[in-house]
Amino acid sequence: MKTIKKFLVLLGVLFTFGILVNATQEAPEKPVAQEVLEEKLVNDYNVYAIPMPDNLNFSGELVPIENPDIRERMDRELLVNTYWQSNGLLLFKRANKYFPIIEPILKEQGVPDDFKYLAVIESSLTQAVSPAKATGFWQILKGTAKEHGLEVNQNIDERYHIEKSTLVACKYLKKAKERFGSWTLAAAAYNAGRAGINKQLVKQNASSYYDLLLGQETGRYVFRIVAVKEILSNPKRYGFNFSNDDLYTHIPTFNVLVDEPIADFNKFAKQYDINYKILKLHNPWLREAHLNNTTGKEYLIKIPREGYYKTGVGQ
């Protein structure tokens, strides 16, 4: 009996050992689906270096990419903005909605069309608020807004008014161009201030943005604008694929002139068959649920034309 037990124990050890040996020598095959997926990823997902485009310019002023430092800085912004694909697609979508509002104002004011891309890098075409409280598409500070005639208070903040804030940006940029003689330096001054750019030009005995040693934000600023301009102007070249149906569209509106207080924007909105939310979407400069207007000032409130919104769905 003991001999049989020893034999069985030995047989079990050998059997277990055999399994372990086989396990180490013969790994199970991958499922076919996994192999196909891995092969597809290898074949379909690639990251490419980006050829440097010829004749890169901002407002007709060439970017001197023959300078190795300038070439590297330009290359960085092209790479960062090309491979941030989700943000890139959102910019294409929003540009289709908002550029038609901004472009005519730039043209009317004598500001180059390229400055619409400055608004893109400032706010991604959203009503953003920075840590420094710069606000709206053009990221305008409260003091600058008031200096240029915008109303800014708890009840009204016209930095959120796309047309009015674009006019303020144009005024600022034209003054900067007059001072520096260059649209590129005017763009840099929008970021660092006219006094800040002038100080560096004098300190470094330079006359061009591309010859200045600047802090990281202002040093990247114009390159970012040029990169966004290049990508948004040539979507296929940079791998962005979409149809017109994928883009956001501008909702046509008409203006209602108001020259007295409005106690309740909920009731006001209902008069035009819209709700409070839609009223505020088209008039983000109205900051509260009422309008004070104790002075009888005239305001134009945008109302979307009929047929573009369905309210009360699911109620």
Average pLDDT of the residues of the chain: 90
Distances (CA, A) of 305 to 95, 256, 268, 269, 286: 21, 12, 15, 13, 19
pLDDT bracket for residue 85 (50, 70, 90): very high
For the segment 104-108, the average pLDDT, to the nearest whole number, is 98
The terminus-to-terminus CA distance of the chain in angstroms comes to 83
Looking at this protein, which amino acid is placed at residue 146?
K
* Residue of 230, 226, 254 lying closest to 240 (CA atoms): 230
4 pLDDT band, cuts 50/70/90, is: very low
| Per-residue pLDDT at 45 | 72
The pLDDT score that the predictor gives to residue 30 is: 59
Mean pLDDT for the stretch of residues 210-214: 97
CA–CA gap between residue 231 and residue 242 (Å, rounded):
14
Strands (E), the chain: 57-58, 61-62, 253-258, 299-304
Percent of the chain residues past pLDDT 70, beyond the cut = 84
Task: Return d(Cα 200, Cα 142) in angstroms, integer.
Answer: 25
pTM: 0.84
Q: Which residues contact 25 (CB under 8 A, 6 or more apart)?
A: none
What pLDDT, in 10s, does the model give residues 122-131?
A: 999 999 999 9
Q: What is the pLDDT of residues 10-54, one digit of tens each?
A: 445 444 444 444 444 445 565 666 666 666 666 667 888 999 999
pLDDT greater than 70 at residue 7: no
Model pLDDT, residue 41: 60
